[in-house]
Amino acid sequence: RNKYYNYNLISPSTFLSPLSVSSFLSAVTLLRPPSHESSPGALARIWHLLPFQKFWYYSKIQQWNDQQWTGLIWEEKELRRTPLPGTVICIKSLSLVIVLWGLPFLLSLWISQGDGHKDKTAKSSIDMSMWEEAERLQSGVNSSLAEVMEIDTESENPNNGFDYSNSAALQWSQWQLLDSILPTGGFAHSLGLEAAIQAHLVSTPQHLETFISHLLDNTGSLLLPYVYSAAISPDGQTWHKLDKMLDATLTNQVGRKASTAQGSALMRVAASVYSETQPCLKIMRDASLCSASGKVLVCFHHAPIFGLVCGVLGMDSTTAQRAYMYTTTRDVISAATRLNLVGPLAAAVLQHRMAKVAEALVLKWMNRSVEDSCQIAPLLDTVQGCHPYLFSRLFCS
């Protein structure tokens, strides 16, 4: 209390409106149940303690001396015993508003209840034939929708009503194969770019564009023949043959491990995702994991498996080879972005610009047999082999 009698503490700018505060206290009195904490007398005492009630006394204190201090406090206590006119007026006003608003509301509620009772009585008197006709029309609409959507309501369709024999339906599976969210592990490998950067072969976006051009050229000459051969003959015997030939062709240990890691992941994902529509993938994978003697039959290299999956999904050989070049371009540009060689926007521009180069290289190396596969960029192969000896590495290869 004493802080309100400090001469330099109270200023008129800090006071609230007495009418708004008294209205609030009056509303609390009406809404809360009567008690010693919310009675009108208690709220009136709270109202007396607010700063704007003290302001009048504060202005008088500045003029009086210390001898009249006791009389001032006594006068304040006497004033508290009398009811506040503002509080009484606000309580009466709010009571009048509640009465004027509540009576029409109760009247409308009573009328609406009466109408609801009448509606219920009227509904019970409706002829049941109308309800039967409505139910018959609803069942006809449901049957028509079922015929349009070709949904079998009696037995569960393992393909969720989706006809995978249709070429349009197969395109969804083919697009999923190129989706970057497919967990094949391609983004864990830089295709030799990280080693080339630390060897100071690539340091600018122009160098990166040259590196990608040579990488795509080497991919077309070395790996596209395996993709093509597996796509035109997607069976287990051809796949095993191509896998052994590619394993003997790859002389780079880092590239060989990266190829087997990505190929194994792709085969595992394809066997799981397309198990209902293409069960042959799961059968070939399970049969290739181990033989009767316990030895692994294949190494699961990436290029033959990519062509095998594309062939099983109905993708033609030309599209399969173009898709393989696309995934290679996408992975190496993504690695360049994470290595801070280019930004995301510059990477998108670069990928669009490299599409012309990739298409030209596809036309150059497409539809070749595996006997014609060769390595045309030995420097990139040598640099990639140095990846395990780097002091710090972000990628697996």
Q: Examine the domain organization and report whether 261 and 358 are in the same domain.
A: yes
Q: Decide if 305 is inside a domain.
A: yes
**Three-class SS state of 164:** coil
CA atoms within 13 A on the CB side of 366: 18
Q: End of a domain among 56, 87, 118? A: 87
Rounded Cα gap, residues 331 and 223, in angstroms: 16
Q: Decide if 16 is inside a domain.
A: yes
Q: Give the residue from 76, 41, 74 showing the smallest Cα distance to 56.
A: 76
pLDDT for 111: 67
Enter the DSSP assignment of 204.
S
Domain holding 184, by residue range, is 171-389
Q: Decide if 109 is inside a domain.
A: no
Q: End of a domain among 87, 115, 134? A: 87
Total number of domains in the chain: 2
Encoded tokens for 81: 């015993």
pLDDT for 226: 96
Contacts 24+ apart (CB under 8 A), 240-245: 240/288, 240/297, 240/298, 242/304, 242/307, 242/370, 243/298, 243/299, 243/300, 243/301, 243/304, 243/305, 244/298, 244/299, 245/370
Q: Decide if 122 is inside a domain.
A: no
Rounded Cα gap, residues 14 and 297, in angstroms: 87
Q: Decide if 212 is inside a domain.
A: yes
Q: Examine the domain organization and report whether 39 and 184 are in the same domain.
A: no
Q: Decide if 99 is inside a domain.
A: no
CATH of the domain at 225: 1.10.4190.10
pLDDT for 169: 73
Q: Tell me the H-state helices in 223-343.
A: 224-232, 236-249, 253-273, 279-289, 302-312, 317-338
Q: Decide if 74 is inside a domain.
A: yes
Q: End of a domain among 36, 71, 87? A: 87
Q: Examine the domain organization and report whether 48 and 192 are in the same domain.
A: no
Q: Examine the domain organization and report whether 177 and 55 are in the same domain.
A: no
Q: Decide if 371 is inside a domain.
A: yes
Q: Taking the chain (397 residues) in consecutive chunks of 10 residues, what is each chunk's mean pLDDT?
A: 41 43 48 47 47 44 48 46 54 67 68 55 52 62 54 43 59 83 80 91 92 95 95 90 93 90 90 79 79 71 93 91 94 93 94 95 94 91 89 84
